[in-house]
Amino acid sequence: MNARTKSQSAFDRAKQVIPGGVNSPARAFGGVGGTPVFIARGERQFLYDIDGNRYLDYVGSWGPHILGHRHPKVITAIQEALETGTSFGAPTEQESVLAELIVDAVPSIEKVRMVNSGTEATMSAIRVARGFTGRDLIVKFAGCYHGHVDSLLVQAGSGALTLGTPSSPGVPEGCTKDTLVLSYNKVEELQGAFRQHGDKIACVILEPVVGNMGVVVPTEAFLQALRSLCTEHGSVLIFDEVMTGFRVAFGGAQERFGVTPDMTTLGKIVGGGLPVGAYGGRQDIMDKVSPVGPVYQAGTLSGNPLATASGIATLQTLKDENPYPQLEELSRKLCAGLSDAAQQAGLDHTVAQVGSMFTLFFNPDPVTSYAVSAKNNTERFSRYFHGMLNRGYYLPCSQFEANFLSAAHTDEDVQATIEAAREVLSEIG
Ligand code: KE4
């Protein structure tokens, strides 16, 4: 491992002209300390930094690269699209191809609108749900992240019903006064919210498998309660599948768990590494969207040819090659090995895994909600993170994030990762 001196000087340069030297705070190593690694290129399951080091990548650009970096079919599709131009601001047939792939794959989606990020998707879906129901109240869950949408940047409240207070300066009280924050997996809280506010709740939005607390798995009772209460009260159930869509199954968490929401938001994998978000759902809801209906939403680069080509190639390859059984099996093997390594090192830990997203928590208890997740030993995590990084394993730089396996990872990669973790965990103590 070469010293990361070029990353350090690149970071010093970047901080002169970019806030914190990064274009997204998630990359800033804020939770683990140290200097972000500046990347030169990605190839299959590997990242290469500007100091010539190679890393086995468990971030995959925070989810998009389920096929690995630069999959030949994706790169070829983007190159071919480049031959015809980059953006027209006019409809193209390829946008219908991508929309048809999404409609065929995702049980809840009868119609879909492309946007440019997961944040745009969730922001738009909430607006449509409010327009469709004529109601203002929205329900989210502490610890779930849905992008930097004003109405969702809400202080994660305690277990009780919490009328939202902004958790970021710049978000006026007015944007969050209609946001109720509940605890994930707490059915009784959800029932209480609907008893108190049922006919005023426009929508309930959640990550159907949480990635943003680290991986937190929903209980079946929680999912069933969400579905039945939203149906009973005419509220729109929104699954934010920006992370889980095409990740935990080709049809997302809703296919895996057999619970169909009214709307779904997508991102990450649906663009294969280029900027694509999408929101969709029942036809009667989506026909509220401009220009068919009165709810306005627009975007200069929405459905642009390059990102659309990347998304089509990614979804088509997933459909043709079906890497999901292999991803599941390798992820299970890795998680079992990590847990055994932590056990051998005598470290309190739990592991959560759904499909090819997983988290090793330095927490004695299974993490089922934000309150539990907040007890993670983040100091121990940062030592684990740097120990693995210095051995060539690139993990998410926060205990409150998911790791991702790609179809490019091999059994040998998994074995090597377990061995490295065994060394690191025995050292950090
Ligand atoms: P983007 O606007 O970053 O494309 O998507 C926002 C979003 C929405 N919903 C879920 C469930 C998400 O996980 C995200 C974004 N995820 C983070 C990582 N946990 C992206 C990394 C970053 O912010 O740089």
Query: If you write DSSP's letter for every residue of 95-126 in order, what string do you get?
Result: HHHHHHHHHHH-TT-SEEEEESSHHHHHHHHH
User: Is pLDDT of 429 > 80?
Assistant: no
Closest C-alpha to ligand 1, atom 18:
62
3-class secondary-structure state, position 352: strand
How confident is the model at residue 154, as a pLDDT? 83
Closest ligand 1 atom number to CA of residue 268: 4
How confident is the model at residue 158, as a pLDDT? 33
User: Is pLDDT of 165 > 50?
Assistant: yes
Contacts (Cβ under 8 Å, ≥6 apart) of 96: none
Q: What is the pLDDT of residues 357-405, one digit of tens each?
A: 999 999 999 999 999 988 899 999 999 999 999 999 999 999 999 999 9
Closest ligand 1 atom number to CA of residue 27: 24
> Are the CB atoms for 279 and 112 separated by under 8 Å?
yes
How confident is the model at residue 264, as a pLDDT? 99
Contacts (Cβ under 8 Å, ≥6 apart) of 298: 290
Q: What architecture (CATH level 2) is domain 5-66+323-428?
A: Alpha-Beta Complex (3.90)
How confident is the model at residue 379, as a pLDDT? 95
Round to whole Å and give the CA distance between 154 and 175: 9
Q: What is the pLDDT of residues 239-271, one digit of tens each?
A: 999 999 999 999 999 999 999 999 999 999 999
> Helices marked H in 18-117 — which ranges?
72-82, 93-105
3-class secondary-structure state, position 358: strand
Q: What is the pLDDT of residues 312-356, one digit of tens each?
A: 999 999 999 999 999 999 999 999 999 999 999 999 999 999 999
How confident is the model at residue 163, as a pLDDT? 57
User: Is pLDDT of 156 > 60?
Assistant: no
Residue 346 Cα to ligand 1 midpoint, Å, equals 33
Annotation marks residue 268 as catalytic: yes
Among 55, 145, 324, 393, the one annotated catalytic: 145
Closest CA to 393 of 58, 44, 25: 58
Closest C-alpha to ligand 1, atom 6:
147
Query: If you write DSSP's letter for every residue of 297-322 in order, what string do you get?
Result: ---TTTT-HHHHHHHHHHHHHHHHH-
Closest C-alpha to ligand 1, atom 8:
146
Mutational pocket test of ligand 1: of 61, 205, 212, the residue with most ligand atoms within 8 Å of the beta carbon = 212
| Cα three-residue angle 399-405-406, rounded to 5 degrees | 145
Annotation marks residue 48 as catalytic: no
How confident is the model at residue 34, as a pLDDT? 96
Determine phi and psi for 307, rounding to 5 degrees. -65, -35
How far is the first Cα of the chain from the last one, in angstroms, to the nearest whole number?
Answer: 23
Parallel/antiparallel/unpaired status of strands 277-281 and 111-115: antiparallel
Q: How far apart, in Å, are the Cα atoms of 143 and each of 61, 182, 211?
A: 21, 10, 9
Contacts (Cβ under 8 Å, ≥6 apart) of 277: 114, 115, 116, 117, 118, 119, 120, 121, 242, 265, 266, 267, 270, 271
Mutational pocket test of ligand 1: of 140, 242, 270, the residue with most ligand atoms within 8 Å of the beta carbon = 242
Residue identified by tokens 């990635």 is: 211
160 pLDDT band (50/70/90 cuts)? very low
Annotation marks residue 240 as catalytic: yes
Closest C-alpha to ligand 1, atom 5:
118
User: Is pLDDT of 157 > 50?
Assistant: no
Among 268, 279, 324, 413, the one annotated catalytic: 268
Residue 242 Cα to ligand 1 midpoint, Å, equals 7
Q: What architecture (CATH level 2) is domain 72-321?
A: 3-Layer(aba) Sandwich (3.40)
Beta-ladder partners of 278: 114, 266
In this prediction the pTM is: 0.97
Q: How many CB atoms lie within 10 A of CB 379?
A: 12
How confident is the model at residue 166, as a pLDDT? 73
Closest ligand 1 atom number to CA of residue 277: 4
Residue 7 Cα to ligand 1 midpoint, Å, equals 24
Residue identified by tokens 């690139």 is: 394
Tokens of 181: 């924050």
Closest ligand 1 atom number to CA of residue 207: 11
How confident is the model at residue 155, as a pLDDT? 60
Round to whole Å and give the CA distance between 305 and 329: 35
> Are the CB atoms for 38 and 49 separated by under 8 Å?
yes
Query: DSSP label at 25?
Result: G
Q: How far apart, in Å, are the Cα atoms of 213 and each of 78, 304, 354, 407, 409?
A: 33, 32, 14, 24, 24
Round to whole Å and give the CA distance between 5 and 185: 45
* Ligand 1 binding pocket, CB closer than 6 Å: 24, 26, 62, 117-119, 122, 145-147, 207, 211-212, 240, 242-243, 267, 277, 401
Closest ligand 1 atom number to CA of residue 25: 24
User: Is pLDDT of 279 > 90?
Assistant: yes
Q: What is the pLDDT of residues 225-240, one digit of tens each?
A: 999 999 999 999 999 9
Residue 118 Cα to ligand 1 midpoint, Å, equals 6
Residue 24 Cα to ligand 1 midpoint, Å, equals 10
53 pLDDT band (50/70/90 cuts)? very high
Q: How many CB atoms lie within 10 A of CB 100?
A: 12
Round to whole Å and give the CA distance between 287 and 126: 14
* Amino acid present at 214: G
Residue 345 Cα to ligand 1 midpoint, Å, equals 33
**Domain limits of the chain?**
5-66+323-428, 72-321
Contacts (Cβ under 8 Å, ≥6 apart) of 188: none
> Are the CB atoms for 302 and 123 separated by under 8 Å?
no
How confident is the model at residue 194, as a pLDDT? 98
| Whole-number percent of the chain with pLDDT over 90 | 93
How confident is the model at residue 414, as a pLDDT? 98
Q: What is the pLDDT of residues 414-423, one digit of tens each?
A: 999 999 999 9
Residue 147 Cα to ligand 1 midpoint, Å, equals 5
> Are the CB atoms for 48 and 273 separated by under 8 Å?
no
How confident is the model at residue 164, as a pLDDT? 61
Q: What is the pLDDT of residues 184-201, one digit of tens each?
A: 999 999 999 999 999 999
Closest ligand 1 atom number to CA of residue 147: 6
Closest C-alpha to ligand 1, atom 17:
62
Among 49, 57, 178, 240, the one annotated catalytic: 240
Closest C-alpha to ligand 1, atom 22:
26
Mutational pocket test of ligand 1: of 22, 59, 62, the residue with most ligand atoms within 8 Å of the beta carbon = 62
**Dihedral (CA of 342, 348, 353, 356) sign:** negative
Least confident of 20-29, 57-66, 125-134, 158-167: 158-167
Tokens of 10: 């690149």
User: Is pLDDT of 293 > 50?
Assistant: yes
How confident is the model at residue 178, as a pLDDT? 95
How confident is the model at residue 345, as a pLDDT? 97
